[in-house]
A and B are shown apart, each in its own frame.
Chain A
Amino acid sequence: MPEVEDKEEASAIEKMQSSGVSRRKLMSMAGGSVALGAFLAACGGDDDNSSTSSSGSTGSNGSSSSPMGEDNSTAMFGEGDLGILNYALTLEYLETAFYADVIKSGLFKGSDLEAIKLFGSQEADHVVALTDAVKGAGGKPAPKPKTEFPLNNAQQVLKLASTVENLGAAAYLGQAPRIKSPEVLAAALSIHSVEARHAAALNTLLGKTIVPDGPFAKPAEAGMVLNAVQPFIV
């Protein structure tokens, strides 16, 4: 689970949560797949149903009893590999928007700013590639979400960036074994390791360990990831 270490970030997230951001809103953006209506019905429609486990970033010890169904499901984004691609696309949209906002904020300069620009441009490339992949597979790309990120000071923003990138890497790792097509898997892995590079670079800037999970990175389930990014979708 990404930990909110910064008080300012915590209160900003609370502010956004109280402004009515809900999982329903996130779902309603998820490309309008036929499964979506059934999914919402099964969930009872809102995020107060979410029973995401709180036992760290891995583990789905409630998955079989969750009213949302399988906690690693990407069905709300589409079937099979298409759903996974659109889930990834949604995350990449979030990251791209985040970095764009950070650049605009003027909070960074010098080499830190260069790193942020680099990561932002690479996330934007991921958006393009994933969009093409979805279209190539005959699917409808997930829409770009409207986002808002707390940007209070450089340190808080770096922490948020680190959280997002580490989460992104874990998200890709969580999906890899679910991917059916070798081509989609190859694409996902080529992005997964880049998110890991971003995460490690940001952790280095923050003086944190480059391997928060130790020698073996932990996967994160879609349900947990989506709950974690929900506060930033408006």
Chain B
Amino acid sequence: MTELKTATDQMVHPELASIEIDGQERSDFLMKGALAAGAIFGLGAISPFVRNAVAASDQGDIEILNYALTLEFLESAFYKEGLKRAGASGALKELITTISTDEDAHVAALTQTIKDLGGKPVKAPKVKFEYADTAAFTALAQTLEDTGVSAYNGVAPEIKSKDVLAAAGSIVQVEARHAAAIRLQNGDSPSPDAFDPTLSQEEVLKAVQPFLVK
């Protein structure tokens, strides 16, 4: 086993330097265990590697992760509330439950990843969603999921770390799955475009502004 050799003064968490990691290429590591483990995306175990790559421009990636975290907080709150008051039943309720679980997991993973990178995760924003009935809820869900896909796809090329990119890709795929399923519930096409459009951060934040309570 190869002992990690990195100047501890470059580390935000030098105590992690003592973690021995098998001498593997990062790409192998990523492909092997980190993702399969699922829950926190395994980035905790490879923090020292990530730290080195991130030294160059970690602020950018941390900001992007916090942007993603904000959106996930929004979705998480939306579905948690929806399970209580959207009036869904049967297959739709099952779907909302699945999505809610996923968004919660995204919040947890992004929060942890930001911490592992030495950043400060944003807090859950105060939110307000207005929908009079189940149909209005699912219409709003469709907007949120489609916006999420466009947000991740829009910002992903700016991500510096390959590990963070892999994490974002893993999450956006799930958001796209959510979007398709919700669209089917709404009687809409699961895939309106052959190429999913992107949105800039400005456009996304403008789109979700109505749900943020000042």
Could you list which residues of chain A lie within 8 angstroms of chain B, going by C-beta atoms?
A: 56, 58-61, 63-64, 72, 115, 118-119, 121-122, 125-126, 129, 169, 173-174, 176-178, 182-183, 185-187, 189-194, 196-201, 204, 209-211, 213-219, 221
Could you list which residues of chain B lie within 8 angstroms of chain A, going by C-beta atoms?
A: 27-28, 30-33, 35-36, 38, 41, 95, 98, 101-103, 105-106, 109, 149, 152-153, 156-158, 162-163, 165-167, 169-181, 184, 189-191, 193-198
**Contacts A122-B194, A214-B38; A197 near B102 (Cβ below 8 A):** no
A197 touching B180, Cβ below 8 Å: yes
Residues of B within 8 A of A201 (CB): 180-181, 184, 190-191
Residues of A within 8 A of B191 (CB): 118-119, 122, 194, 197-198, 201
A204 touching B181, Cβ below 8 Å: yes
**Contacts A118-B191, A194-B194; A58 near B170 (Cβ below 8 A):** no
Closest beta carbon of chain A to B151's beta carbon, Å: 11
Q: Which of A61, A122, A189 contacts B153 (CB 8 A)?
A: A189
Residues of A within 8 A of B163 (CB): 177
Which residue of chain B has the shortest Cβ distance to A218 in the bound complex?
B35
Q: How far is the CA of A59 from the CA of B174 in the complex (A)?
A: 19
Residues of B within 8 A of A186 (CB): 153, 156-157, 198
Which residue of chain B has the shortest Cβ distance to A169 in the bound complex?
B173
A182 touching B177, Cβ below 8 Å: no
19 A-B residue pairs with CB within 8 Å:
A72-B27, A121-B194, A169-B173, A176-B165, A176-B169, A186-B156, A187-B195, A189-B156, A189-B157, A190-B197, A196-B174, A200-B176, A201-B184, A210-B95, A214-B102, A215-B101, A215-B102, A216-B170, A219-B31
Beyond A192-B172, A210-B180: 10 further Cβ-contacts under 8 Å? A56-B36, A58-B36, A189-B153, A190-B196, A196-B173, A204-B181, A204-B184, A213-B174, A216-B171, A218-B35
Residues of A within 8 A of B27 (CB): 72, 177-178
Closest beta carbon of chain B to A122's beta carbon, Å: 4
Q: How far is the CA of A70 from the CA of B193 in the complex (A)?
A: 34
A200 touching B32, Cβ below 8 Å: no
Residues of A within 8 A of B176 (CB): 192-194, 196-197, 200
Q: How far is the CA of A173 from the CA of B172 in the complex (A)?
A: 10
Closest beta carbon of chain A to B107's beta carbon, Å: 10
Q: Which of B32, B158, B174, B197 contacts A215 (CB 8 A)?
A: B174
Residues of A within 8 A of B171 (CB): 215-217
Residue among B158, B184, B195 with max Cβ neighbours from chain A (10 Å)? B195
Closest beta carbon of chain B to A133's beta carbon, Å: 12
In the A-B complex, the 9 residue pairs with the closest CB atoms: A215-B105, A217-B173, A125-B194, A200-B177, A193-B176, A196-B176, A197-B180, A201-B190, A182-B157
Closest beta carbon of chain A to B65's beta carbon, Å: 15
B181 touching A200, Cβ below 8 Å: yes
